[in-house]
Amino acid sequence: MDLGLTGKIAVVTGANRGLGLEACRQTATMGYRAVLTARGKTKGERAVAGLRRDGLDAAFCQLDVTDAASVRRLARFVARQGGRLDALVNNAGILIDGEEGPLGLKVAALSRTFETNVAGPLRVAQALAPLMDRGGRIVNVSSSAGQFKNLSAHWPSYGVSKAALNALTKTLAREHARDGIRVNAVCPGPTDTPLFQSYKDAGDYGRRVFESISRSFPLRRIGQPEDLPGAVAVLISDDAAVITGQILSVSGGLTMQD
C-alpha cells in the first residue's frame, strides 16, 4: 500500500509522550518530517532527540494550544520548515480528575477542559490551514469517552469535550472541503499509559475505575499507545483521499454498541 508520505511535513501536538509521541514516531518512520510540539521544552527536546537517535527526521517547537501567541509562533516555525504543511495531528488534551458521575460535572473544570480539548484544536487548525495546499489532512485525536451515550461516567468534562471535538471535526471537514483539506477524528479507548496505570494506586475509587474499564473491552485487551498511529497514518495518507468528516473508533470494540 502506497501511503504517499515521503517528503511531507506533519505537525503533532502534545507529542512528548504517549499517543502523541507514537504518532510522531510512526509518521516519521513512514517518511514525514515530524514537527513534535509540547508545552514542556525539556521533555519535548528530549523526545525529539530520541527520534533522531533512531534515524528519524524530527523537529521540536514549544506550543501551548491555549495561547494564541504560541500558536502563531508554531505557524511561523512550520513556514520556515519549507512553507507548506501536509498534515496536522491535534493530539494535545487534558483530563481533569476528581469528577465522578454527571453530578460531578463542574463549570470550572468544563471551561478549562474545553479551552484545551476543543478551542485548542480549532485554534491550531485555523492557524495552520493556510499553510496547507489542496490535499492537506487534519486528524483530531478524540476519545471513546465522547462516543458513549452517557459520554463518560468517570470524567464528565472530558467526555463532553471529546463529544464537542467530534462535532467540531465534522464542522471543519465541511468548511474545508472546498479547499481540498480533509478533516477526520480518531477515538482511542482507554490506553495503557502511565496515567491509566496510576489509577491502580489511587485508592478504592481509582482501582474501581481501572478494573471496570479493563473488563469492558470486547477484544479482551486494553489498548496500547502503538495501536493508534496506524489509523492516523491511513487518514493522512493518499489512500484516504475521499475520506473526510469521519469519526473512527480505535477502541477494541468498546463503543460498538453505542
Residue type at position 240: A
Nearest to 74 by CA among 138, 152, 12: 12
DSSP annotation of 182: E
Q: Which domains does the chain have, with CATH numbers?
A: 9-191+225-250 (3.40.50.720)
197 has a pLDDT exceeding 60? yes
**Residue with the larger pLDDT of the pair 125 and 81:** 125
Residue of 32, 158, 199, 205 marked catalytic: 158
Residue 200 pLDDT:
65
Cell of 93: 488534551
List b or e across 165-178, with b for residues whose CB sees 16 or more CB atoms inside 10 angstroms.
bbebbbebbeebee
46-82: pLDDT as tens digits: 999 999 999 999 999 999 999 999 999 999 999 998 8
Q: Does the pLDDT value for residue 258 go beyond 70?
A: no
**For this structure, is 205 an active site residue?**
no
For cell 505557524, name the residue.
Answer: 75
How many CB atoms neighbour CB 130 within 10 A? 11
Q: Which amino acid is at 207?
A: R
Kindly indicate the confidence band of residue 158, based on its pLDDT and cuts at 50, 70 and 90: confident
Q: What is the pLDDT of residue 74?
A: 98
Cβ contacts of residue 15 below 8 Å, gap of 6+? 21, 23, 24, 34, 36, 37, 38, 44, 47, 89, 91
252 backbone φψ class: left, alpha, beta (φ>0; ψ -120 to 50): left
pTM summary value: 0.87
Q: Residue 114: is its pLDDT beyond 50? A: yes
